[in-house]
Each structure stands twice: as C-alpha cells, then as structure tokens.
Amino acid sequence: MMVLRPIRQQDYQELLVIAEESGHGFTSLPLNEELLQNKITRSIESFAKPTAKAGDEGYLFVLEDSETGEIAGTCGIEAAVGLDDAFYHYHLSKVIHSSRTLGVYKAVDILTLCNDYTGATELCTLFLKEKYRQKFNGKLLSKSRFLFINQHRERFADTVIAEMRGVSDEQGSSPFWQWLEEHFFSMDFPTADYLTGIGQKVFIAELMPKYPIYVNLLSKEAQQVVGQVHTNTRPAIELLKSEGFTFNGYVDIFDAGPTVEAKVDNIRTVINSGLRTVVIGESQGDNAVMVANQNIEDYRALVVEVDLDGGDDAEIILTQSTADALKVQSGDQVCVAEL
C-alpha cells in the first residue's frame, strides 16, 4: 500500500537518494546535507505550527511503500513565496513597433523581470522514483496536496502556482541560461541553480539584466525553449493542466520553464472532493478514489478502489488495514476525490 504522509527526521537518507536521482534543475532539493536536514526540520515545525494565515511555512510530504518502508517519492507545498527572499520570474509579453509613415507594424515578445507571484502558494519538490512511476502513484503524490490545501485553507493563499522544470540536457546545460551566462554571468547553470536552491539569491538582483529582454535577440536555441518543459516534467504539467492550471506567460529566470497557476476554488480535485463517513468493512469496487484524513501533523492520503454512492455526506467502506493506514476509525470523516 502506498501512503502519503508528512516527512520525518528519519527519512533523511531516503530524501538524499531522491535529491541525487532528481538531477540538475531540481532547485528545491539541493545536494547539501545541512540544507536537506533543515528542510525536514522546517517541515516538521510547519506542520506543528498553529497559524491562521499563509506565512513562511514549508510542508514536505513523502510517499511510502507500507510493505517495504521505502520512500517512493516526495512533494511539497510552500505556503507563501517571496515573503523573506525575493521570488523572481520573467513575464513574457509583447511590445509593438510600428510606423504608419513606413508602413511597418511588428509585434515583439519581451521578457520582463518581476515579482508578481509574491505571496502565492507554491506546489514544489515533486519527484517520484522511476520504478514507482506506475498505476496511481504519480497522481496521488501530486493531487493529495490539493486535498490538504482545501482542508486547511487558512494556511494557504487563494492562488496556487507550480514552477515547471525547463529544458536542459543530462549535464545540466540550459540553452536559455547559456545565453544569460554569455552576456551577464560567469557561472554555469548547475552552479546558479544550486546557489538558488541553498538560498543564496543576492547574485540575481546584482547581475540579472534590469531591463526587458527582447526574445528575438536571444540565441535561436534559447528562443526555442522559452515556456517549454523538461522531458521528465511533461506528465506533471499535463496533470496540472487537467486540474485547471493555466500558463499566463511567467517563466523561470534560469531555464525559462513555465509557471502555471490556478485559484484554489477552480482546481478540479477541490471541486470534486467531499467528506464521507468511514465504515469499517470489506471494501469492494473498481472506482479508484483518493482518500485523505483531516489531520495536519498526522495527515495521510492513499488510493483505494471502491464503489461510491450517494452525495458528499454518504459513507465510504474501508478495510481495517486501510483505516489504520489513514489513522481513522469508524465514524470519522475523510475527504474523498475521484481520480
């Protein structure tokens, strides 16, 4: 059984393995022992913190194989980005160059440095080990966060964003960054990405071009990757699009990967979720649903195959082992969303 839960201190070694496997461009999991330990500690403190508004909390979850104890993947939520450190994006927009006298009219794409997503909730740190990329594991890892956000609205912003990894090769070389490096920086993409991951962002404000960048002045290779995702990220962005997330022209400042956004109330899983009362019994059916308890520190989510009847206030039959994994008892209410 695959169960999603908050991360614990003893998960450090497994998180390190995931950080190594995720490779270049996965900024939120830098290969740095102290910082990974700090991420775990911060997450534990965030789950335990009583709060009624989105602040500097960072929630990190892991997907555990209950039979082996192996951690299959991880995902995270940043309650509100940019409150302590500036949160940068490039915004892709257009300017018009025209002359009636000469009969010239040309629309040109430009990239403008901005902090427009300051205060938004961010979905982050999503990674699933290759051998577990099957059945409903990826959907559970990604979509379970929507149930957590919906059940604890006071902890999050109304706007949710997700930065998608942009195009880079196996050595971590990004065509977009190569152009920036040539003209404004003297460091390669993995170094810049790593510095950002460990919180050293001052160089961005110091060295990043302050004025809009004309896209047609970029190298051909850089132009082609603006707003495009890494091959490994395509399933993730397609899943978010199916949930109602849209791309509104914001791209990452390093690899030009797209950032997508949605209002919490417009997220498909949130719209289609509801509370049901647990009944312990023999669960039957072939309708795959995601089930989550309503806890914070003891949050659990998993996928079961059952038959669902009635409205949001109806019952759901769970086996004793499934109820135990969810840390619920007969009569408790759980949040249910069809996959």
What pLDDT is stored for residue 310 in this prediction? 57
Q: Rounded mean pLDDT of 167-182? A: 84
What pLDDT is stored for residue 246 in this prediction? 98
Question: Both tokens of residue 76?
Answer: 């995270």
Active-site position among 97, 152, 183, 230:
230
What pLDDT is stored for residue 197 in this prediction? 62
Q: Rounded mean pLDDT of 276-299? A: 92
More confident residue, 336 or 207: 336
Q: Is the pLDDT of residue 25 over 70?
A: no
Q: What is the mean pLDDT of the chain?
A: 90
Residue burial 11-21, b: 16+ Cβ < 10 Å; e: rest: beebbbebbee
Structural domains in the chain, sorted by start: 2-89+114-269 (3.40.630.30), 272-338 (2.40.40.20)
Q: Rounded mean pLDDT of 300-315? A: 80
What pLDDT is stored for residue 43 in this prediction? 97
Q: Is the pLDDT of residue 29 over 70?
A: yes
More confident residue, 306 or 32: 306
The position carrying tokens 């979720």 is 273
What pLDDT is stored for residue 26 in this prediction? 61
Is residue 75 a contact partner of residue 26, using CB atoms and an 8 Å limit?
A: no
More confident residue, 112 or 177: 112
Q: Rounded mean pLDDT of 75-91? A: 92
Give me the phi and psi of 277, to 5 degrees please: -90, 135
- 86-133 pLDDT, tens digit each: 888 999 999 998 988 888 899 999 999 999 999 999 999 999 998 999
What pLDDT is stored for residue 174 in this prediction? 86
Q: What is the 3-state secondary structure (H, E, C) of the chain?
A: CEEEEECCHHHHHHHHHHHHHHCCCCCCCCCCHHHHHHHHHHHHHHHHCCCCCCCCCEEEEEEEECCCCCEEEEEEEECCCCCCCCCCEEEEEEEEEEECCCCEEEEEEEEEEECCCCCCEEEEEEEECHHHCCCCHHHHHHHHHHHHHHHCHHHCCCEEEEECCCCCCCCCCCHHHHHHHHHCCCCCHHHHHHHHHCCCCHHHHHHCCCCCEEHHHCCHHHHHHCCCCCHHHHHHHHHHHHCCCEEEEEECCCCCCEEEEEEHHHCHHHHCCEEEEEEECCCCCCEEEEEECCCCCCCCEEEEEECCCCCCCCEEEECHHHHHHHCCCCCCEEEEEEC
Exposure on the CB side of residue 17, measured as CA atoms within 13 A: 13
Where residue 20 falls among pLDDT bands split at 50, 70, 90? confident
The yes-or-no answer on residue 230 being catalytic is yes
Q: Is the pLDDT of residue 199 over 70?
A: no
- The alpha carbon torsion through 289, 270, 144, 195 (nearest 10 deg) reads 150
- 201-241 pLDDT, tens digit each: 666 767 778 889 999 999 999 999 999 998 888 888 999 99
290 forms beta bridges with 303, 337
Where residue 193 falls among pLDDT bands split at 50, 70, 90? low
